[in-house]
Structure 1
């Protein structure tokens, strides 16, 4: 925990002692599901509990997390499961027919964690596929496929990542996830906004569903039960389930998992800090419950999400959290002209501890490629191509001093081939990272890739008026496409190939996928080249 958060957290804990209600009590609980034999025996489930699918994530050379949640009636409290512990059997095999089961056991699905199951499966072989499944009360889950990371120090090879972000359910169908499920990727990197906290209309927005969305979804999520409902709706989508079943996911959050544009302990509505931290605790708990993350679970309103993954000697992936520790946005948020507040060295986005962790790791890395999974645009982006300059106060541009620290650190590690992956903007961008972003002749030290959103933003267009403004005002920006989709990144020792993929519409299902642009980045020669 950073020093400046401690007084606010203590305040929230004092306030918690005066609060009542099951949702608040559960949000601050500390019991952690494990892989020991469950003491609850039969769960007494009378309907299929695997309505939210299965998933895996956070692959290591010898381990991977497998996940499910028991929810026979996902839109009811606790997913329609009884308020008691339930033993869940799990298996991991080297073949999809489970002829060779190599790991198995029983996990305990606990009601205080919404009967979610997180199994950290250990002692696996590096760099290979596995298949996994769960069973409870005679019900068998779908089969998921996962993959471990290569062995430490392994030379060469190929790393293939699917990358996207921002999947607002009412903004349209998850057609992109269905196509991603057919890609042969080693892992999916998801860059934030897994859910949106907003209420949902009966028609389900652009989905215009035949069966009305239940009335409990009309209000914005702020309690633990309401966040759980939002995840249940999103995760009930068969295309999202298919994408999770195909490969392990490495996830981070942005703002909408809690509240739009929140900053650390500051809410969008400037609610009292102690009240907002209760909401943040609820949101963080629900996030952990619904994604394949290792323990420990969030402790109240705090969760250590930033972490690092290594893929042999080929690539290292550092995952950032740019919401939990940030200072409030400068100048009231939005797009604003330059100011002293924007450049104030006391204001932070990632926070000093996390920034130092990332830069230390980068300085000590021995891999060919160094990838940063990041939520908001890190490079300079000017919305106004005239001399006035307009910067996004919610992105790294709004935190100029810390932005300079990180960009200088990347520039000093040009030989380590830095690649920044970014979400948030509901568009596909590709840009060179420059010593001087205003000078096209300035040294390039890395690339920033912004795969477009899975669904947020609706159908989209190839290039909007604002997209053209970005192209006109930012010479380092090489590509803009504002339709929905994802990118596939293929790393080897010589180069990175980037394929930007989009679908033409998402307001109805069945859209085809196409590659609209491909780039190559040569190892040792930073910069985007059109393939």
Structure 2
């Protein structure tokens, strides 16, 4: 991640090592891997080698049921402390999720190592008088007692309510909805875009407000958690009535570290409320694993095998703690996260992964003067396979709006309005040839209404996407809506220190604000409207909600107009 001004950590290879890190443990796990003549990716994904990696980081194979069954009636504390969630809505199905953790801040969630039977119900009404589907799942300790049900055979475009039961305990009720039918002439869709929720930087007040919004779906665009240490008082939350366990006060590195960190985040009542209110579509950025990693290349100088073991642990914990469908289940250090969702004839969503397949950042991943390394035409942000998948999907699309939820700023973003300037090497500016191929693919596919949704930078932007960013008079080919952070960067300000430089340097930038919050986007057949919601503070709880700015762009006539 990087903010518009500074990042939360220095550039790659220059961060001071955490004295409490688990690097020795990871090195030992890496040493356990057999030595072969294969390249590391071929080795780690070859038949049998993924199992060796799983052994090295204590990841049993999928479906393992070695633990004995627990009597759910003996669970004496509420196991639903992490709430419920739903995600990736299809026209006739939706994925529902929960994780059992009576004592979420303890390793294992406070449950003995055993299998637990979990019952689920899905109904048309909040009181569950009209139950339409029910079933039973097994919560395995090997998957941190998380469960997910792919509930099928549902009516399209309908609101449903769901809950889970274990022994005598019943979870909070979740509200979800299916997507409109394929080919349906749906006339309106409202989505929310969120990102970057550093627990130690403040309260998730924006999520509480989001829970009360009338939206069809929420897109979480990355940095769901941060790997950095959280002290006993919760950092900027400055708790006086509680103390967090010491095991949070070091950087995450192992599977147990990441599981505990998700438990900390998901114990937040505002985040739980947002998940219970709306279906989420999630994609990661860097901090779900490690700041500014690029593909198989870590931030710091560590052996590649050590980083891939850490990545495997992070990806495994991400899967366990998010409402993701079975095709997204990871294998060792690999996880197919890019995927496509359709909402009738109104919108197609192509969710990208710009972290796992990218080339290493040019010139050290900070703000740098562009040059031959960054402008190499072979550089890729997405990898060749994902890029083909994206453009092929556009050619087959019949949607009015083609929306691309992804992680890092897509539009060109100069830091100063002079002939000599710098660009963020971690964003698409560090991969301009890759960006140009994507824009050319959209043009070749006849995409008239392209919208990119972005997170990462802890500020909100609205950009016109230009055919040629060097020429301000160049044709506008789409829109980018950049949501600010939920809490990362602490309270923020309406006008960051570099506001004047950036707005003057980038005439296609139509909006720039540094407060915390989220973006709402309402799509119709005629236009798209973006509302930038902000809160005044996150270092104290309960701040009110405001709308910082609103814009519209007409279907068939790209370009943002303030409302």
Same fold (TM over 0.5): yes
Say whether 1:195 aligns with 2:225.
Answer: yes
Instruction: Report the Cα distance in structure 2 between the residues aligned to 1:273 and 1:91, rounded to whole angstroms.
Output: 44
Say whether 1:25 aligns with 2:25.
Answer: no
Say whether 1:397 aligns with 2:409.
Answer: no
C-alpha contact 1:29 1:299 (8 A) present in aligned 2: no
User: Which stretch has the larger CA shift, 427-436 or 336-345?
Assistant: 336-345
Say whether 1:480 aligns with 2:512.
Answer: yes
* RMSD of aligned alpha carbons: 1.9
User: Which stretch has the larger CA shift, 308-317 or 6-15?
Assistant: 6-15
The residue aligned with 1:326 is 358
Say whether 1:214 aligns with 2:236.
Answer: no
Say whether 1:436 aligns with 2:468.
Answer: yes
- Residue of structure 1 aligned with 2:492, choices 434, 443, 460: 460
The residue aligned with 1:416 is 448
C-alpha contact 1:411 1:446 (8 A) present in aligned 2: no
Say whether 1:53 aligns with 2:104.
Answer: no
- Residue of structure 2 aligned with 1:277, choices 285, 292, 308: 308
Instruction: Report the Cα distance in structure 2 between the residues aligned to 1:345 and 1:107, rounded to whole angstroms.
Output: 49
Instruction: Report the Cα distance in structure 2 between the residues aligned to 1:148 and 1:17, rounded to whole angstroms.
Output: 36
The residue aligned with 1:372 is 404
Mapping 1:124-523, distance limit 5 Å: 124-210=154-240, 211-296=242-327, 297-412=329-444, 415-523=447-555
Compared CA separation, residues 344 and 415, structure 1 to 2 (3 A)? closer
Instruction: Report the Cα distance in structure 1 between the residues aligned to 2:244 and 2:499, rounded to whole angstroms.
Output: 34
The residue aligned with 1:68 is 98
Instruction: Report the Cα distance in structure 2 between the residues aligned to 1:19 and 1:416, rounded to whole angstroms.
Output: 45
User: Which stretch has the larger CA shift, 292-301 or 103-112?
Assistant: 292-301
Give the length in aligned residue pairs.
520
In structure 2, stretches of 5+ residues that fail to align are 1-37
Compared CA separation, residues 23 and 512, structure 1 to 2 (3 A)? farther
CA offset digits 1:120-158 (Å, max 9, x no partner): 111110000000000001100000000000001001321
C-alpha contact 1:378 1:403 (8 A) present in aligned 2: yes
Instruction: Report the Cα distance in structure 1 between the residues aligned to 2:111 and 2:262, rounded to whole angstroms.
Output: 16
Say whether 1:95 aligns with 2:125.
Answer: yes
C-alpha contact 2:529 2:550 (8 A) present in aligned 1: yes
Length-normalised TM-score, structure 2: 0.89
Instruction: Report the Cα distance in structure 1 between the residues aligned to 2:545 and 2:164, rounded to whole angstroms.
Output: 32
C-alpha contact 1:12 1:273 (8 A) present in aligned 2: no
The residue aligned with 2:33 is none
Quote how far apart the aligned CAs of 1:529 are.
0.7
Instruction: Report the Cα distance in structure 2 between the residues aligned to 1:97 and 1:383, rounded to whole angstroms.
Output: 54
Compared CA separation, residues 18 and 239, structure 1 to 2 (3 A)? closer
Instruction: Report the Cα distance in structure 1 between the residues aligned to 2:562 and 2:404, rounded to whole angstroms.
Output: 22
Length-normalised TM-score, structure 1: 0.95
CA offset digits 1:73-129 (Å, max 9, x no partner): 111111011211111000000000000000000011011000001111111100000
CA offset digits 1:471-503 (Å, max 9, x no partner): 110000010001000111111111111111100
Instruction: Report the Cα distance in structure 2 between the residues aligned to 1:272 and 1:264, rounded to whole angstroms.
Output: 14
C-alpha contact 1:498 1:519 (8 A) present in aligned 2: yes
Compared CA separation, residues 146 and 32, structure 1 to 2 (3 A)? farther
Quote how far apart the aligned CAs of 1:467 are.
2.9
Instruction: Report the Cα distance in structure 1 between the residues aligned to 2:406 and 2:314, rounded to whole angstroms.
Output: 20
C-alpha contact 1:411 1:435 (8 A) present in aligned 2: no
Instruction: Report the Cα distance in structure 1 between the residues aligned to 2:509 and 2:530, rounded to whole angstroms.
Output: 15
SS of the residue 2:550 aligns to: strand
In structure 1, stretches of 5+ residues that fail to align are 1-5
Compared CA separation, residues 30 and 122, structure 1 to 2 (3 A)? same
Instruction: Report the Cα distance in structure 1 between the residues aligned to 2:342 and 2:379, rounded to whole angstroms.
Output: 31
Moved over 6 A (4+): 13-20
User: Which stretch has the larger CA shift, 240-249 or 382-391?
Assistant: 382-391
The residue aligned with 2:111 is 81
SS of the residue 1:465 aligns to: coil
Quote how far apart the aligned CAs of 1:11 are.
4.3
Instruction: Report the Cα distance in structure 1 between the residues aligned to 2:56 and 2:71, rounded to whole angstroms.
Output: 25
